[in-house]
Structure 1
């Protein structure tokens, strides 16, 4: 998902219909049920969905009354998301980590980064975390899902670990307040497990 290497998300362009259909089979309330209690209380709060993919999560959050900025680097995935999961509360943005330049100096009440971190090259992760922290308001929450397991050879992926993420996030005032147990893959891929982490910005 880095700006220097568009091939990172090339498969999402070439197979956008497949990925859209796969992700649309799942529901926010099931996939992210551990995150729901950390969502902002106030209606109209600003939420950032980094790597929004099909727009499934952005739509669910928008329907809850939040103002959602949905960021996606794949042009074709973004077009599908905007066409099929559009909502008046969603602003669709074509951009990518580590810099997210299109977001300028915006500040958000909640940030979701789900099934994205494995696409970030290790040498860009600290820059990415710093940028994410800068975009998050003090006292608010960042929710991350980590894909742990065999990489998909059709997509560019890098190893991830919760230890690395915790170490890097601690440098930028992000304190872990929830770490899940390992959970099975919702698409029944036996070689993959997930860890979910919520950070609070100090």
Structure 2
């Protein structure tokens, strides 16, 4: 849809999808997720992988015994993932940030919610809505795992800056607590050469009933 706030970013991924599939799949999920693995609950809890791409990480979680929903709005990535990981019990969704409207309508809640390589693609004006959407999909005591990219991004796939500090500030405003914040180098040589680094953040939802919240500016 022309008025979707993520149109420009998604168009870039549609354009680059064929060249990115092998690059995505070449990375070892255990290596990618190493900074946060110690902070995740054990299977068989529910995992939501938002911006799942080809389902590389989602498949790794499914193989470990988690019940996984992979959210990927780029149809080319979903089709590739369904072929590459077709033998696994993965639920696929074409839902989109920041609203994740279809998932929210389903009423399903998740124990682990992951945004890996996604946050920097959201404009600052979209991040508040995205965080509230994740909040609404999180079960009590859920863990939110967000990787925040620092540094340049390809021109075809715009980055609006990481700003981990703003993410943490907004998260704390709605009652999320920080249980992990690590600054790491990129594991991809081309990104390292370009000066890309990452902040890995794990947030915890209160174990008690969640209140309805709205964020201020």
TM-score range for the pair, normalised by the shorter chain length: over 0.9
How far apart are 1:100 and its partner, in Å? 0.6
Partner of 1:121: 123
Partner of 2:143: 141
Q: Confirm or deny: 8 A CA contact 1:12 1:76 kept in the other structure.
A: no
SS across alignment from 2:35:
helix
CA distance in 2, matches of 1:11, 1:56: 20
1:18-64: per-residue Cα shift (whole Å, max 9, x none)?
111111111111111122222222x3311000000121000000000
Q: Confirm or deny: 8 A CA contact 1:51 1:73 kept in the other structure.
A: yes
Worse-matched range after superposition: 63-72 or 185-194: 185-194
How far apart are 1:87 and its partner, in Å? 4.0
2:196 aligned with 1:192: yes
2:56 aligned with 1:52: no
Worse-matched range after superposition: 159-168 or 83-92: 83-92
Q: Confirm or deny: 8 A CA contact 2:71 2:94 kept in the other structure.
A: yes
Aligned structure 1 segments of 4 or more residues deviating by more than 6 angstroms: none
SS across alignment from 1:34:
coil
CA distance in 2, matches of 1:38, 1:90: 22
Partner of 1:73: 73
CA distance in 1, matches of 2:49, 2:167: 18
TM-score, with length taken from structure 2: 0.87
Q: Confirm or deny: 8 A CA contact 2:53 2:78 kept in the other structure.
A: yes
Q: Confirm or deny: 8 A CA contact 2:9 2:156 kept in the other structure.
A: no
CA distance in 2, matches of 1:5, 1:198: 24
2:172 aligned with 1:170: yes
Q: Which residues of structure 1 form unaligned runs of 5+? A: none
Worse-matched range after superposition: 134-143 or 84-93: 84-93
CA distance in 2, matches of 1:88, 1:185: 28
CA distance in 1, matches of 2:203, 2:67: 20
Give the greater-gyration-radius structure (CA).
Answer: 2
TM-score, with length taken from structure 1: 0.93
CA distance in 2, matches of 1:78, 1:3: 19
Structure 2 residue corresponding to 1:131, chosen from 125, 130, 133: 133
Equivalent residues, number: 199
